[in-house]
Amino acid sequence: MQEHVYIHPSANVSDKARIGAGTKIWINVQIRENAQIGEGCILSKDVYVDHAVHIGDRCKIQNSVSVYNGVSIGDDVFVGPNVAFTNDRVPRAFNPDWRITETRVESGASIGANATIVCGITIGEYAMVAAGSVVTKNVAPYTLVMGNPARPAGKIDKMGNRLPEGDGHEQ
Ligand SMILES: CC(C)(COP(=O)(O)OP(=O)(O)OC[C@H]1O[C@@H](n2cnc3c(N)ncnc32)[C@H](O)[C@@H]1OP(=O)(O)O)[C@@H](O)C(=O)NCCC(=O)NCCS
């Protein structure tokens, strides 16, 4: 464990997890073995980080998000409250051979509250997923998606401002 990490007394953090300096871990958070969390992150109430999950620097993971094995998160990523990640594309309780399907959230991306992320996709750099979306396909960098299923709704800049149509340059 690094120095300058705040861990609320109610949190359950494996001593085999690596947590970067300045990260704050709030009420009832659970962090499993071999998870790696970067510097300056905030993990809000009831977050669950599965074993061997990697989370970058300066991420904000909001209340009640479970980041399952197979999900990896870059730097500066925002994950809104109750976002549902998945890691089993065709779940069956009685299938003993189920396999993890990976999902990647690239640096700078944001995912709005209550979105569902169907596994096997990449959410590109600085992309934004609108609240409540169900994301079933890759999201291109600097792209806003919304709806169920989530569809591209335009390009955005680093701050999330809409760019005029046809102005797809990345900045
Ligand atoms: C997508 C978002 C960023 C707004 O983008 P915007 O460009 O300002 O969009 P607007 O508010 O102008 O809405 C544009 C259209 O998209 C629709 N829309 C907005 N948000 C939507 C959403 N989450 N899902 C589906 N449609 C949405 C609007 O109803 C509107 O539709 P219309 O053109 O038929 O009237 C915002 O709505 C959102 O979902 N933010 C995430 C909030 C959040 O979860 N924060 C987490 C921390 S609390």
Q: Whose CA is nearest to atom 7 of ligand 1?
A: 162
The pTM is what? 0.96
For residue 36, how far is its CA from the centre of ligand 1 (angstroms)?
32
pLDDT for 166? 75
Strands 151-155 and 143-146, by their bridges, are: antiparallel
Q: Is the CB of 156 under 6 A from ligand 1?
A: no
Q: Is residue 167 predicted with pLDDT exceeding 90?
A: no
Q: What is the rounded CA–CA span in Å between residue 84 and residue 46?
A: 13
DSSP string, the chain: --SS-EE-TT-EE-TT-EE-TT-EE-TT-EE-TT-EE-TT-EE-TT-EE-TT-EE-SS-EE-TT-EE-TTEEE-TT-EE-TT-EE---SS--TT-TT-----EEE-TT-EE-TT-EE-SS-EEPTT-EE-TT-EE-S-B-TTEEEETTTTEEEEEB-TTSPBPPTT-----
- Average model confidence (pLDDT) across the chain: 96
Buried b or exposed e, range 94-123, using 16+ CB within 10 angstroms: eeeeeeebebbbbbbbbbbbebbbbbbbbb
Residue 132 CA: nearest ligand 1 atom is: 23
Q: Is the CB of 43 under 6 A from ligand 1?
A: no
Residue 111 CA: nearest ligand 1 atom is: 44
For residue 138, how far is its CA from the centre of ligand 1 (angstroms)?
19
Q: Dump pLDDT digits (tens) for 91-110.
A: 999 999 999 999 999 999 99
Average pLDDT over residues 128-155: 98
Q: What is the rounded CA–CA span in Å between residue 27 and residue 44?
A: 7
For the chain, give the longest Cα–Cα distance: 51
State percent of the chain over pLDDT 90. 94
Q: Is the CB of 132 under 6 A from ligand 1?
A: yes
CB 155 within 8 A of CB 168: yes
Q: Is residue 3 predicted with pLDDT exceeding 90?
A: no
Retrieve residue 109's tokens: 């991306």
Residue 80 CA: nearest ligand 1 atom is: 46
Q: Dump pLDDT digits (tens) for 58-91.
A: 999 999 999 999 999 999 999 999 999 999 999 9
Q: Is the CB of 134 under 6 A from ligand 1?
A: no
Average pLDDT over residues 14-33: 98
pLDDT band at 165 (very low <50, low <70, confident <90, very high): confident
